[in-house]
Amino acid sequence: MVYNLQADFSSIKAALRAGTDHCFGLATHPSEILAKLIDLCSHEDEPPFRVLVVEDSTTASISIQRTLKQSGIESHAVTDPAEILNSLRSYQPDLVLMDMFMPKCTGVEATRVIRQHPEFLSTPIIYLSGEGDMGLQVDALRLGGEYFLTKPFNPVFLNAVVKSKIERYRALRRSMQHDGLTGLLNHRAIKDRLATAIHLAARTNGLLSVAMIDIDHFKHVNDKYGHPIGDQMIRGLAWLLKQRLRKSDLVGRYGGEEFLVVLPDSDSSQARDILDRIRQDFATIKHALSDQWFEASFSTGVSGYPAITCPESLIKDADAALYEAKQKGRNTVVARG
């Protein structure tokens, strides 16, 4: 990684040629560098690549899956194109390997059906076919595919293409779902994850808690110390939450100095205890300001499922509990449900 680099083509080319993976120009804001560091660190916990194989031939499916497994890529196969949508929702693949010619349905037709659903609009689709007609391949790509591989495929090349497409897809997904200042899930993404978590809890008769966190007197911090210090405080709390919460928990920047936390398999009492310990630790942090130090605190409201089942209602109830915590003097946690 190179920082304070001239942003011209030649300088960046020289840095990349020397082995650098990421370059930051002279005018790069520190928050962008922090976001990249968070992004790089988070890769360690990323799940294996997942591919949905759509192939009517069981023999071909087994061969493709065996090839993918050699590179540590997980896969799930379907032989009937009618099963694709359900498999996309249940398996959540990073990429689809689509046979071009199947009984009663071509790969292009299946792809066009997939692209009718917004949640799968950006999922990469690679066609597999013995067809060598260039015009047909171009039409197939124009109608929703990302790449075209001919059979018989080279195993090394297949895995290289799949990995490359998935890496780009995940990078795009991260940039769309994560907040630039903190690296946490953004407003829309955390709400989507909450809805998914509630759906899972309903299927398994599980518990779930939602917490709304707000930094106390944040406007005063910005007015007195400046917005860069306010940003520093937001990033500090984001890092603390990521470090102290469980891997199964979800945390996002809801807006400004507000954070939304989703704690699966936890009732309101358990969530309150977890967040209260984090609250106590945050209150002891010394925030740097030139040659001075100052302290800050946050307040939290907690609500729980299944007492409330609607995602929006859960957030509103947690927000109401947060307001109650503010009314009680701040730097406290109020739990409902």
> Among 72-81, 153-162, 280-289, whose mean pLDDT is lowest?
280-289
Strands 95-99, 125-129: pairing kind = parallel
Q: What pLDDT sits at residue 31?
A: 58
Q: Which two tokens stand for residue 328?
A: 């009680």
Predicted confidence (pLDDT) at residue 48 exceeds the cutoff of 80: yes
Alpha-carbon span 64 to 58, nearest angstrom: 10
Q: What pLDDT sits at residue 13?
A: 84
Torsion of CA 37, 229, 280, 305, to 10 degrees: -70
Q: Are residues 169 and 283 in the same domain?
A: no
Alpha-carbon span 60 to 75, nearest angstrom: 13
Torsion of CA 308, 313, 318, 323, to 10 degrees: -130
Q: What pLDDT sits at residue 324?
A: 97
Q: Bigger pLDDT: 65 or 287?
A: 65
Say if 61 falls within a structural domain.
yes
CB 75 within 8 A of CB 50: yes
Residues 189-202 have a mean pLDDT of 92
Q: How confident is the model at residue 30 (pLDDT cuts 50, 70, 90)?
A: low
Q: Are residues 162 and 22 in the same domain?
A: no
Bridge partners, 127 (sequence order) = 98, 148
Residue type, 244: R
Predicted confidence (pLDDT) at residue 81 exceeds the cutoff of 70: yes
Q: Name the nearest CA neighbour of 222 among 291, 285, 287, 166.
A: 287
Q: What pLDDT sits at residue 153?
A: 87
Q: Are residues 205 and 321 in the same domain?
A: yes
- What are the catalytic residues? 257
Rg (CA), the chain: 24
Predicted confidence (pLDDT) at residue 23 exceeds the cutoff of 90: no
Pick left, alpha or beta for residue 329 (phi over 0 → left; psi -120 to 50 → alpha; otherwise beta).
left
Q: Which two tokens stand for residue 281?
A: 């630790």
Q: Are residues 55 and 39 in the same domain?
A: no
CATH number for 273:
3.30.70.270
Residue type, 279: R
Most confident of 30-44, 160-174, 266-280: 266-280
Q: Which helix (DSSP H) or strand (DSSP E) does residue 208 occupy?
A: strand 208-215
Coil, helix or strand at residue 274: helix
Say if 181 falls within a structural domain.
no
Phi, psi of 96 (to 5 degrees): -115, 130
**Is the link from the previous residue into 47 a cis peptide, with omega within 30 of 0?**
no
Q: Are residues 193 and 310 in the same domain?
A: yes
Angle subtended by helix axes 187-204 and 311-327, to nearest 10: 110
Q: What pLDDT sits at residue 70?
A: 93
Q: Are residues 277 and 193 in the same domain?
A: yes
What is the domain extent for residue 22? Answer: 2-45
Q: What pLDDT sits at residue 40?
A: 65
**Is the link from the previous residue into 152 a cis peptide, with omega within 30 of 0?**
yes
Residues 242-253 have a mean pLDDT of 93
Q: Are residues 125 and 38 in the same domain?
A: no
CATH number for 118:
3.40.50.2300
Pick left, alpha or beta for residue 64 (phi over 0 → left; psi -120 to 50 → alpha; otherwise beta).
alpha
Predicted confidence (pLDDT) at residue 241 exceeds the cutoff of 90: yes
Most confident of 41-50, 134-143, 203-212: 203-212
Predicted confidence (pLDDT) at residue 87 exceeds the cutoff of 70: yes
Q: How confident is the model at residue 284 (pLDDT cuts 50, 70, 90)?
A: very high
Question: What average pLDDT does the chain have?
Answer: 89
Say if 156 falls within a structural domain.
yes
Last residue of a domain, one of 175, 195, 223: 175
Q: Which two tokens stand for residue 26?
A: 């002279």
Q: Are residues 292 and 200 in the same domain?
A: yes
Q: How many domains does the chain have?
A: 3
Q: What pLDDT sits at residue 32?
A: 67
Q: How confident is the model at residue 67 (pLDDT cuts 50, 70, 90)?
A: very high
Last residue of a domain, one of 132, 149, 175: 175
**What predicted TM-score, i.e. pTM, was given to this entire model?**
0.68
Q: What pLDDT sits at residue 63?
A: 94
Q: Are residues 116 and 215 in the same domain?
A: no
Q: Write the CA distances from 246 to 46, 47, 104, 242, 260, integer angstroms.
A: 15, 16, 47, 8, 15
Predicted confidence (pLDDT) at residue 2 exceeds the cutoff of 80: no
Alpha-carbon span 143 to 136, nearest angstrom: 11
Predicted confidence (pLDDT) at residue 137 exceeds the cutoff of 80: no
Bridge partners, 51 (sequence order) = 75, 95
Q: Are residues 32 and 66 in the same domain?
A: no
Q: Name the nearest CA neighbour of 318 among 212, 207, 209, 197.
A: 212
Q: For the chain, give percent helix, strand, coil, nearest 5.
A: 50, 20, 30
Say if 58 falls within a structural domain.
yes
Q: Write the CA distances from 215 to 119, 144, 231, 275, integer angstroms.
A: 33, 45, 12, 13
Q: How confident is the model at residue 89 (pLDDT cuts 50, 70, 90)?
A: confident
Q: Are residues 119 and 211 in the same domain?
A: no
Q: Bigger pLDDT: 179 or 132?
A: 179
Say if 180 falls within a structural domain.
no
> Among 31-45, 116-130, 237-251, 274-288, whose mean pLDDT is lowest?
31-45
Phi, psi of 333 (to 5 degrees): -120, 130
Say if 182 falls within a structural domain.
no
Say if 8 falls within a structural domain.
yes
Q: Are residues 140 and 90 in the same domain?
A: yes
> Among 13-27, 106-120, 189-203, whose mean pLDDT is lowest?
13-27
pLDDT tens string 214-231: 999 999 999 988 888 899
Q: What pLDDT sits at residue 252?
A: 96
Last residue of a domain, one of 149, 175, 201: 175
Say if 38 falls within a structural domain.
yes
Q: Write the CA distances from 240 to 184, 237, 269, 275, integer angstroms.
A: 12, 5, 21, 11
Q: Which two tokens stand for residue 223?
A: 């007015």
